[in-house]
């Protein structure tokens, strides 16, 4: 009880409006991992002094070939769709990216970028469909899916000429050379062929459509990467033994059909000065190359390598063979040549997905999301991009700090013979002495600097610091692995596991029954039990009862009557308990679909559908659903007003906040429903708004409040943040739940809802609520912004009770209310990420530290960002500027003073008594 | 050994002992030796001191004065309390403290305060004065309580007991499958 009273006092005393990050905390309490995302062979350009990539996450980046750090990157989510993109080199200093725009797939965005600096040279938007082919021969030639071929100026991007395909032709590719432009199309009745265009005028050089393959189904089109010959190749679906190759550089195209040694799964084509090299991967996974010389319209096989388990790639006249422990390079074309160089490289054990090479180095992409750069000189670096593809996150608490003594040792010392136990104990203490110097150093360091982060913690240990700032962030990635990052060491990798559930896709990661155990669950029922401290897999199993065609959709963990249950929810609405026991009491589940929320009851080992909440009209769709964090604690059941009366909070734990948008009318709606009974508690419609429905509505549920936000196109344009505070009654001091048990099935009054809207100038991409250990500290809403920032919005500011258009009265001032200002959240001091460019974050998780004042915040998506916040100021932590030396000196001076003046005073008093002194 | 004169005059209170050689020094002015040494005047009339009843009445009167003394400071305390405002400042805090500490001390010392006026015959009357005295001290304390109330430090409002209110027990377990 005292704790509660004290806590209230603390909250009142320390909740101030002045917030912000101190300069000496930046880069100390926070860290940032800049990612680029997954890349593949077609979207990586490697040259001896640069690496340029365009990733699946829409990041155009240039990497330093020396160490793999990002030289620059652009997040092109607004302008480029990775699936319809072409990345090519424009000239020696610039790269070119052409891609369909996300807003309209019929528009192509094409831009040239300086490779060293990332500066934009030019950009232009072209109507006429997504880019199908891009070819650079001095100027840029682009073919779009709408049947347009355009020549763009190399230096300005302005259009030189435009050509439209005749009726009946569908675009395939464009190949430009100095002399002419080949427009390759497919015609329904004729098959695959090409037109020749005049480079200067863009007009047809000859009227004829030259057919090269009569089979209209010819697909899997591949253009040569070569610089001499214009070679194209294609295959026919289902046909895995022959490849058709056409050399278009001749006056009349020569079409050849080659038959590789074995049936193939995939191939690529490279042209050399004398012919072409085909790199083939067989059906059995082995790779080989076949070299052909091209002369006088003939293609002759001149050599082939033996099929090998290693991955092979061709880059600038060389053949590279990448095996587990080395990378070997060969001169291209000489079939049986010895390797020119063999470089020892320790590649990850994960299977190789692609290899792309320049003349001196290769990038080897592994299935686990690691990209290894290896040059023939032996220089390597690795980028782990799996952390840019996170499925699920868990912040794991580490072991308590203190003496490392195992239970076994304690038992031994208690039960053994006294002498033996004594010897054991002395030995143990003797061994512990070894860490004394380090402890002392740490102690004095911390004492003098006041900086707890400066205390070195062994990176390899699994011990938490005193304040619980050190945790492991365990990430489950779409690449099938786990990564544990150390929050106290700038996100350094603590451990990793790859391919944890073979031939399965990770759905989620949840804490297990023991503190250091984690459950990793896959879509096809794979379950791995992992030690979260070390990453060691303890057991793997499979959910046996999972039905055919069914798969796990999500993993849930909940606590009922002190027992922790872990369960997997499947697409067919089944529930499989992974922890041994099943609940004996009925448990009510709710699950959201695109347009409805469905309720279920689990009793007697059966799950039965109970209720369904459907949206008002069919044009509505649910964009986000939130419930209160079950671990969130309530300290005070009411809110104290200025006149010391109480508004009781509506603390129904069953509240589900359902945010929906209507694509037809561009409006948004929010529903609060009870997730046990499906009862509608509150609804609000924003019918007169023009909502960006693609961005959706983001919603979070705090203690007794809901905050949601949506982008409004209406004046004033911006993100509108709505806060709803829920109270039991609008009458003060009335608490209907007093002395009663709460049941959703009894007719309880609807909550009294107070709402207020705030304006935020930036797009908010996600919302989260901070949670402290005991719930005494006030709560913050954490928002990730599309300006590559992470911001904090104090709930104290997002208050529905702030007086509007007038100054607060004395009572309201005592309540801590300030005058309503719609732009309250727009304060640069609320930006947590300061100078970091945190792009693509989609989610934020909060985890309490050991200190009540401090909450750890971790945002992820593409980049990772970690910091810690103190929503009510660090009231339980001495500030670094606290002058301990002065305090000690003062105490010391006082002690000395007392030591000397004490006897003097005593003597004087005695003399007075004896009358010898007045 | 003969007893020295000074010892006799210190120890013996009989009139003989007091009698000193008159020639040694004169009596102080207005000193009437006869009144001290004899109860009779020259004219044989007895000089009467206050009777015991008179004495008691005097004592009770005096006791009433003491008992009613706090009532005089009561209006001043009330006015000062009112004007010092309801804010928590050192002045008003000290004043409020005095409003409690002084009455408590006075009540604790009520016996010694009235001991001088107490005798068997006046016991019941002095008891009345004591009760009035205590009542007035309590009234002073009441001013203090009112002052505390106006400062908002008395747990009279609902919010003061909020910390002791516990959360409602929820009967059903609901789980949202995200």
User: Can you tell me the ipTM of this complex?
Assistant: 0.80
pLDDT score of A12 more than 70: no
pLDDT score of A15 more than 60: no
- The label of the residue with tokens 């203190």 reads A402
Tens digit of pLDDT for each residue in B31-67? 776 666 655 555 555 656 778 888 888 888 999 998 9
Is residue A816 within 8 Å of residue A797, measured between CB atoms?
A: no
Residue A61's pLDDT band (cuts 50, 70, 90) = very high
pLDDT score of A737 more than 60: yes
d(CA A239, CA A283): 12
pLDDT score of A8 more than 70: no
d(CA A445, CA A426): 29
Out of B157, B169, B174, the one facing A645 most closely (by C-beta) is: B157
Is residue A590 within 8 Å of residue B174, measured between CB atoms?
A: yes
Least confident of A687-691, A762-766, A833-837, B6-10: B6-10
Out of A553, A634, A644, the one facing B160 most closely (by C-beta) is: A644
Out of B159, B163, B174, the one facing A590 most closely (by C-beta) is: B174
Contact list, B152 vs chain A (CB under 8 Å): 644
Question: If you measure CA to CA, which chain B residue comes closest to A574?
Answer: B177
Cis peptide preceding A716, ω within 30 of 0: yes
The CA-CA-CA angle for residues A635, A29, A887, to 5°, reads: 80
Tell me, what's the pLDDT at A118?
93
d(CA A673, CA A622): 13
Whether A438 is in a domain gets the answer: no
Contact list, B85 vs chain A (CB under 8 Å): none
Instruction: Give the pTM.
Output: 0.85
Tell me, what's the pLDDT at A386?
93
* Nearest chain B CA: its distance from A646 CA (Å): 6
Residue B108's pLDDT band (cuts 50, 70, 90) = very high
* Nearest chain B CA: its distance from A691 CA (Å): 24
Task: State the total domains in chain A.
Answer: 3
Chain-chain contact of B157 with A737 (C-beta, under 8 angstroms) = no
Tell me, what's the pLDDT at B54?
85
pLDDT score of A596 more than 90: yes
A611–chain B Cβ distance below 8 A for any pair: no
Whether A711 is in a domain gets the answer: no
Tens digit of pLDDT for each residue in A421-437? 999 889 988 888 888 88
pLDDT score of A112 more than 90: yes
Contact list, A740 vs chain B (CB under 8 Å): 168
d(CA A613, CA B108): 72
A585–chain B Cβ distance below 8 A for any pair: yes
Tens digit of pLDDT for each residue in A636-654? 999 999 888 999 999 999 9
Residues 6+ apart with CB under 8 A from A705: A723, A724, A725, A726, A795, A800
Tell me, what's the pLDDT at A52?
93
Paired tokens of A415? 């039960």
A587–chain B Cβ distance below 8 A for any pair: yes
Give chain A's mean pLDDT. 86
* Nearest chain A CA: its distance from B117 CA (Å): 36
- The label of the residue with tokens 């905050």 reads A707
d(CA A784, CA A300): 59
Contact list, B162 vs chain A (CB under 8 Å): 8, 636-638, 640, 646
Residue A217's pLDDT band (cuts 50, 70, 90) = low
Out of A554, A634, A676, the one facing B172 most closely (by C-beta) is: A676
pLDDT score of A800 more than 90: yes
d(CA A55, CA A47): 17
Chain-chain contact of A745 with B160 (C-beta, under 8 angstroms) = no
Q: Which backbone phi and psi does A829 adopt, to 5 degrees?
A: -70, -15
Tell me, what's the pLDDT at A3?
42
Contact list, A587 vs chain B (CB under 8 Å): 173-175
- From A544, A577, A610, the end of a domain falls on A577
Out of B157, B162, B174, the one facing A676 most closely (by C-beta) is: B174
Contact list, A560 vs chain B (CB under 8 Å): 173
d(CA A112, CA A125): 12
Residue of A833, A575, A150 whose CA lies nearest to B175: A575
The percentage of chain A sitting over the pLDDT mark of 70, rounded to a whole number, equals 91
Contact list, A627 vs chain B (CB under 8 Å): 176, 178
Residue B20's pLDDT band (cuts 50, 70, 90) = low
Interface test with B, best of A576, A653, A776 (most B CBs within 10 A): A653
**Neighbouring-strand partners of residue A855:** A848, A869
Residues in chain A: 918
Which residue intervals of B42-122 are DSSP H helices? Answer: 52-83, 90-108, 110-115
Paired tokens of A406? 């195992």
Question: With a CB-CB cutoff of 8 Å, which residues 532-571 of chain A face chain B?
Answer: 553-554, 556, 558, 560, 569
- From A528, A546, A577, the end of a domain falls on A577
* Nearest chain B CA: its distance from A518 CA (Å): 19
Whether A818 is in a domain gets the answer: no
Helix, strand, coil percent content, chain B, rounded in steps of 5: 60, 5, 35
Chain-chain contact of B163 with A1 (C-beta, under 8 angstroms) = yes
Tell me, what's the pLDDT at A202?
83
Least confident of A215-229, A356-370, A837-851: A215-229
pLDDT score of A623 more than 60: yes
Residue A219's pLDDT band (cuts 50, 70, 90) = low
Least confident of A332-341, A358-367, A659-668, B45-54: A332-341
A195, exposed or middle or buried, with CB in 10 Å at 0-12, 13-18, 19+?
A: buried
Distances (CA, A) of A278 to A193, A234, A289, A361: 22, 12, 6, 20
Distances (CA, A) of B94 to A203, A864, B91, B109: 101, 56, 5, 22
Is residue A160 within 8 Å of residue A202, measured between CB atoms?
A: yes
pLDDT score of A336 more than 60: no
Residues A126-154, mean pLDDT to the nearest whole number: 90
* Nearest chain B CA: its distance from A168 CA (Å): 48
A843–chain B Cβ distance below 8 A for any pair: no
pLDDT, greater one: A603 or A276: A603
Paired tokens of B80? 């000062």
Residue A99's pLDDT band (cuts 50, 70, 90) = very high
Q: Positive or negative, the Cα torsion across A180, A186, A190, A191?
A: positive
Residues A359-388, mean pLDDT to the nearest whole number: 90
Chain-chain contact of A636 with B174 (C-beta, under 8 angstroms) = no
Query: Residue A130 belongs to a domain with what CATH number?
Result: 2.130.10.10
Residue A356's pLDDT band (cuts 50, 70, 90) = confident
Whether A475 is in a domain gets the answer: yes
- From A182, A197, A217, the end of a domain falls on A217
User: Strands, DSSP E only, in A728-852?
Assistant: 741-742, 752-760, 764-769, 780-785, 789-794, 841-848
Whether A77 is in a domain gets the answer: yes
Question: If you measure CA to CA, which chain B residue comes closest to A589?
Answer: B175
**Neighbouring-strand partners of residue A531:** A517
Contact list, A640 vs chain B (CB under 8 Å): 159, 162
* Nearest chain B CA: its distance from A644 CA (Å): 5
Using a CB–CB cut-off of 8 Å, the residues of B that contact A are 152, 157-160, 162-178
Three-class HEC string of A11-60 = HHHHCCCCCCCCCCCCCCCCEEECCCCCCCHHHEEEECCEEEEECCCCEE
Which H or E run includes A472?
A: strand A471-477
Contact list, B88 vs chain A (CB under 8 Å): none
Paired tokens of B157? 């409002």
Residues A702-716, mean pLDDT to the nearest whole number: 93
Chain-chain contact of A740 with B168 (C-beta, under 8 angstroms) = yes
- The label of the residue with tokens 């309503």 reads A820
Q: 10 Å Cβ neighbour count for A577? A: 15
Distance of CA A70 to the CA centre of its chain: 17
The percentage of chain B sitting over the pLDDT mark of 90, rounded to a whole number, equals 25
Three-class HEC string of A372-402 = EEEECCCCEEEEEHHHHCEEEEEEEECECCC
Chain-chain contact of A646 with B158 (C-beta, under 8 angstroms) = yes
Which H or E run includes A427?
A: helix A418-433
Tens digit of pLDDT for each residue in A220-258? 555 655 444 566 776 666 677 778 777 766 666 677 778
Out of A634, A645, A654, the one facing B159 most closely (by C-beta) is: A645
Tell me, what's the pLDDT at A516?
80
A651–chain B Cβ distance below 8 A for any pair: yes
Q: Which domain holds residue A916?
A: 883-918
The DSSP code sequence of A681-744 is EEEEEETTS-B-TTT--EEEE-SSEEEEEEEE-SSSPEEEEEEEEEES-SSTT--TTTTSEE-T
Residues A551-579, mean pLDDT to the nearest whole number: 89
Residue A769's pLDDT band (cuts 50, 70, 90) = very high
d(CA A108, CA A79): 9
Residues A319-335, mean pLDDT to the nearest whole number: 76
d(CA A250, CA A269): 18
Q: 10 Å Cβ neighbour count for A812? A: 18
Helix, strand, coil percent content, chain A, rounded in steps of 5: 10, 45, 45
pLDDT score of A877 more than 70: yes
Contact list, B171 vs chain A (CB under 8 Å): 741-743
Category of A345 on φ-ψ map: left (φ > 0), alpha (ψ -120 to 50) or beta: beta
pLDDT score of A6 more than 60: no
Category of A494 on φ-ψ map: left (φ > 0), alpha (ψ -120 to 50) or beta: alpha
d(CA A276, CA A363): 22
Tell me, what's the pLDDT at A213?
72
Tell me, what's the pLDDT at A13?
41
Whether A140 is in a domain gets the answer: yes
Q: How do the domains of chain B map onto residue ranges?
A: 55-152
Chain-chain contact of A741 with B175 (C-beta, under 8 angstroms) = no
d(CA A324, CA A309): 10
Question: With a CB-CB cutoff of 8 Å, which residues 6-25 of chain A face chain B?
Answer: 8
Least confident of A122-131, A315-324, A479-488, B119-128: A315-324
pLDDT, greater one: A244 or A822: A822
Instruction: Report the half-sphere exposure of A647 (CA within 13 A, side-chain side).
Output: 18
């Amino acid at each position: 009880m005292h704790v509660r009273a004290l806590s209230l006092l603390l909250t009142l005393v320390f909740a101030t409006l002045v917030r912000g990050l101190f300069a000496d905390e930046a880069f100390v309490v926070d860290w940032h991992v800049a990612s680029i995302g997954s890349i593949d062979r077609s979207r990586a350009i490697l040259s001896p002094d640069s690496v340029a990539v365009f990733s699946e996450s829409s990041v155009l980046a240039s990497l330093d070939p020396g160490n793999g750090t990002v030289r620059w990157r652009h997040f092109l989510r607004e302008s480029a769709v990775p699936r319809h993109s072409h990345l090519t080199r424009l000239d020696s200093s610039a790269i070119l990216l052409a891609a369909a725009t996300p807003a309209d797939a019929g528009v192509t965005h094409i831009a040239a970028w300086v490779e060293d600096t990332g500066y934009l040279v030019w950009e232009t938007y072209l109507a006429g469909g997504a880019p199908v082919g891009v070819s650079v021969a001095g100027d840029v030639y682009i073919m779009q899916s709408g049947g347009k071929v355009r020549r763009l100026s190399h230096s300005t991007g302005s259009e030189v000429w435009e050509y439209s395909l005749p009726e009946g032709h569908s675009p395939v590719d464009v190949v430009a050379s100095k002399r002419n432009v080949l427009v390759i199309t497919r015609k329904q009745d004729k098959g695959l062929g090409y037109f020749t265009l005049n480079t200067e005028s863009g007009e047809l050089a000859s009227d004829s459509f030259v057919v090269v393959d009569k089979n209209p189904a010819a697909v899997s089109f591949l253009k040569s990467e070569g610089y001499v010959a214009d070679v194209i190749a294609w295959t026919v679906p289902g046909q895995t033994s022959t490849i058709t190759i056409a050399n278009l550089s001749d006056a009349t195209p020569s079409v050849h059909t080659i038959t590789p040694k074995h049936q193939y799964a995939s191939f690529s084509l490279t042209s050399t000065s004398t012919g072409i090299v085909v790199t083939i991967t067989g059906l059995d996974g082995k790779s080989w190359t076949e070299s052909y010389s091209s002369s006088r319209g003939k293609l002759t096989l001149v050599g082939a390598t033996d099929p090998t388990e290693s991955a092979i790639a061709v880059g600038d006249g060389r053949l590279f063979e990448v095996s587990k422990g080395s990378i070997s390079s060969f001169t291209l074309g000489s079939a049986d040549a010895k390797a020119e160089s063999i470089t020892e490289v320790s590649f990850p054990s994960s299977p190789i997905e692609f290899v792309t090479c320049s003349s001196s180095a290769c990038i080897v992409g592994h299935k686990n999301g690691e990209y290894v750069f290896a040059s023939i000189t032996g220089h390597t670096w690795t980028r782990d991009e799996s952390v840019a593809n996170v499925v699920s996150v868990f912040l794991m608490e580490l072991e308590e700090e203190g003496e490392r003594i195992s239970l076994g040792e304690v038992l031994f010392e208690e039960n053994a013979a006294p002498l033996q136990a004594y010897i054991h104990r002395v030995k143990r203490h003797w061994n512990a002495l070894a860490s004394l110097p380090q402890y002392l150093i740490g102690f004095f360091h911390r004492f003098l600097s006041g900086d707890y982060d400066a205390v070195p913690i062994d990176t390899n240990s699994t011990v938490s610091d005193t304040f619980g700032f050190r945790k492991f962030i365990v990430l489950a990635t779409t690449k099938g692995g786990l990564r544990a990052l150390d929050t106290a060491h700038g996100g350094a990798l603590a451990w990793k596991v790859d391919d944890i559930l073979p031939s399965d896709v990770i759905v989620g990661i949840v804490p297990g029954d023991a503190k250091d155990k984690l459950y990793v669950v896959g879509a096809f029922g794979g379950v791995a039990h992992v030690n979260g401290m070390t990453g060691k897999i303890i057991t793997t199993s499979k959910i046996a009862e999972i039905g055919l065609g069914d798969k796990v959709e999500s993993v849930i963990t909940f606590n009922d009557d002190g027992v922790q249950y872990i369960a997997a929810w499947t697409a067919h609405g089944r529930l499989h308990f992974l922890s041994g026991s099943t609940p004996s009491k009925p448990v009510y589940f709710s699950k959201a679909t695109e347009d409805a929320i469905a309720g279920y009851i689990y009793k007697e080992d059966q799950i039965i559908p109970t209720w369904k909440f459907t949206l008002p009209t069919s044009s509505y769709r649910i964009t986000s659903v939130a419930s209160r964090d079950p671990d969130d604690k309530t300290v005070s059941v009411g809110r104290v007003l200025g006149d010391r009366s109480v508004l009781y909070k509506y603390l129904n734990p069953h509240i589900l906040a359902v945010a929906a948008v209507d694509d037809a009318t561009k409006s948004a709606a929010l529903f609060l429903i009870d997730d046990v009974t499906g009862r509608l508690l509150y609804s609000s419609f924003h019918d007169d708004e023009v909502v960006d429905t693609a961005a959706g509505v983001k919603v979070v549920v705090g203690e007794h409040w809901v905050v949601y936000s949506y982008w409004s196109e209406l004046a004033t344009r911006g993100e509108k943040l709505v806060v709803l505070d829920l109270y039991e009654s609008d009458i003060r001091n009335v608490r209907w739940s007093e002395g009663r048990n709460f049941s959703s099935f009894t007719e309880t009054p609807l909550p009294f809802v107070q709402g207020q809207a705030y304006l935020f100038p930036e797009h908010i991409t996600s919302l989260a609520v901070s949670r402290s250990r005991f719930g005494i500290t006030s709560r913050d809403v954490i928002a990730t912004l599309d300006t590559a920032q992470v911001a904090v919005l104090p709930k104290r500011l997002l208050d529905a009770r702030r007086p509007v258009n007038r100054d607060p009265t004395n009572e309201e001032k005592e309540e801590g209310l300030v005058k309503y200002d719609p732009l309250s959240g727009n304060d640069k001091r609320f930006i947590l990420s300061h100078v970091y460019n945190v792009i693509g974050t989609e989610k934020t998780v909060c985890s309490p530290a050991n200190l009540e004042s401090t909450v750890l915040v971790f945002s992820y998506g593409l980049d990772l960002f970690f910091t810690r916040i103190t929503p009510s100021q660090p009231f339980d932590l001495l500030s670094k500027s606290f002058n301990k030396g002065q305090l000690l000196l003062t105490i010391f001076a006082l002690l000395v003073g007392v030591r000397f003046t004490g006897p003097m005073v005593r003597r004087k008093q005695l003399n007075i008594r004896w009358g010898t002194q007045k | 050994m003969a007893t020295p004169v000074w010892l006799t005059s210190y120890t013996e209170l009989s009139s003989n002992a007091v009698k000193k050689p008159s020639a040694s020094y004169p009596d102080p002015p207005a000193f009437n030796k006869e009144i001290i040494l004899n109860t009779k005047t020259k004219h044989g009339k007895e000089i009467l001191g206050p009777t015991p009843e008179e004495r008691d009445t005097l004592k009770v009167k005096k006791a009433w004065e003491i008992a009613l003394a706090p009532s005089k400071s009561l209006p001043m305390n009330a006015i000062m309390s009112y004007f010092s405002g309801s804010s928590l400042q050192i002045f008003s805090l000290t004043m409020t403290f005095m409003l409690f500490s002084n009455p408590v001390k006075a009540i604790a010392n009520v016996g010694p305060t009235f001991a001088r006026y107490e005798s068997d015959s006046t016991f019941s009357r002095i008891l009345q004065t004591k009760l009035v005295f205590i009542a007035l001290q309590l009234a002073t304390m009441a001013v203090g309580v009112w002052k505390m109330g106006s400062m908002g430090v008395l747990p009279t409002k609902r919010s003061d007991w909020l910390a002791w209110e516990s959360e409602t027990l929820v009967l059903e377990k609901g789980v949202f499958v995200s």
